[in-house]
A and B are shown apart, each in its own frame.
Chain A
Amino acid sequence: MVSGRSLEATTALITGAFGAAVIVSSLDNGIGWSAAGVESGTFPLIVGLVILAGSLFNLVQGWLHARAVILGPSEFRRLATLFVPAAVFVGVIPLIGMYPAAALYVFGALAWHRRGSLLLAAVAAIGAALALYLMFELTFHISMPRGALGTFFGF
């Protein structure tokens, strides 16, 4: 269960951390005016300060005025059923390559929902990978990652 308060706080902390990182890295670049005009760190510094200050405001504001609960257990579960497989799909691309990953992902999604036979799911999975290949690799000459597996087999 996730409360509105903690979600607001998390988001404000993420944006605030980003703002702080922007400030720190802008300091590498020089601030203010020089012979070469406005120095390259100036705008990032200002923008970083705005993000940080805004995030602090949102943190306090969110803490005081947030709605009680926005994510119940069932919402959370539904989010997980989308996000976890998607993250796994993205995560295995460097290992097994784009095409096998996409095929497994489609197969997994169809099999999980148990509509139609496994054979149908397998056909759809291979079809999806093939469609990707035809469209990107063959037509538009964009090569997809082969992954460690593909490298092993010499693609």
Chain B
Amino acid sequence: MSQKPTFAAIAFGLAIGLTGAANAAWQPAKPIEFIATAGPGGGTDNFARAVQNIITKYKLVEQPIVVVNKAGGSGAEGYTYTKAMAGDPYKVVFGTSNAWNQPMVSKVAYNYTDLTPIAAMVHDEFLLWVKQDAPYQNVQDFLKAVAAKPPGDVKMGGAQSKDTDETLTRMIDKAAKVKFVYIPFKSGAEAAVQLAGGHIDAHVNNPSESIGQWKGSTQRPLCAFSPQRLPDGPKVTATQNWHDIPTCVESGLAIPQFQQPRTVWLPGKVTADQAAFYVDLMKKVQATPEWKEYIERTSQTDTFLTGDAFNKFIKEDIERTRKVAADEGWLISN
């Protein structure tokens, strides 16, 4: 199935050769499939569609691009599918850090080494949120209150299990010497509503997952898990914008950085030329004003990582997650 269509490729090569446009670089010769490892409307889906829209708008690729959602199994469906497409440069999969973190903690049939890394295009931020009318004014108050209760009495909600939200919760546990009980929901949006209803005490949502709730005064952020404050911008509430929220380190919770990269991959066994084509394509996407607009709208951070920098990032992230996962006994044996 994934065999390259040799005779068509030759024909195509000939055609290009005749028109004189031939050079060493690879160009796509048929429609490209973008695989979003999230359902319609999810963060990764919006990411894939934003890239698709920009490419289409600027005609960065001659071939049409189709977005396919393969959200099953927390994204495992998309990665497993891509793994099976080894050598096919017409499948591009969009995901997060779960590409390398999920195989560590559950018995899925892929690993990130089965894929060809292209880029990490943007980082989504994490914040610690509490209910609007909660008595805590800052992280210290909150953590003190948690420590005063018996372990497992204070409920932290989050999206999925053993994924970024729970990993971050366990890091907070360790840094502040407390013990939250973690309640996994299907999505961050669901956790936000549960917090608004007072069924849980806190969550660690991304900005875009809770901005509506913050505006509506049902919950507020205590601190951001980023090295510096989020960029200045328009007011979200009457008095505050994202920049007014202190970093967690500033307010005494020693977790300097925790971010969710949004990643792009090709299947394994593609040629260097093919990978280079997509790296170049994503760079072009990143340079457009629409991309800036997408990043601002979703309050994410622009950090384009590719090649060695991306590989280094993956290594570090794995290192960090593995530590938490090992302590919690999540690691699967393989």
Contact = CB atoms under 8 A, between A and B. Distances in A.
Direct contact of A and B (CB under 8 A): yes
Contacts of A153: 5, 8
Interface of B: 1, 3, 5, 7-9, 11, 30-31, 33, 66-67
A141 interface: yes
A85 B244 CA distance: 67
Contacts of B7: 152, 154
Nearest to A34: B329
Contact of B66 (A143, A148, A151): A143
Given A143-B31, A151-B5, A154-B30, 16 more contacts: A94-B1, A141-B66, A141-B67, A143-B33, A148-B1, A151-B1, A152-B7, A153-B5, A153-B8, A154-B5, A154-B7, A154-B8, A154-B9, A154-B11, A155-B5, A155-B30
Given A143-B31, A143-B66, A151 B9 contact: no
Contacts of B31: 143
Judged by DSSP, the binding face of A is loop
Contacts of B9: 154
Nearest to A154: B8
B116 to A, nearest CB: 21
22 contacts: A94-B1, A141-B66, A141-B67, A143-B31, A143-B33, A143-B66, A148-B1, A151-B1, A151-B3, A151-B5, A152-B5, A152-B7, A153-B5, A153-B8, A154-B5, A154-B7, A154-B8, A154-B9, A154-B11, A154-B30, A155-B5, A155-B30
Interface in A100-155: 141, 143, 148, 151-155
A37 to B, nearest CB: 9
A67 B67 CA distance: 53
Contacts of B1: 94, 148, 151
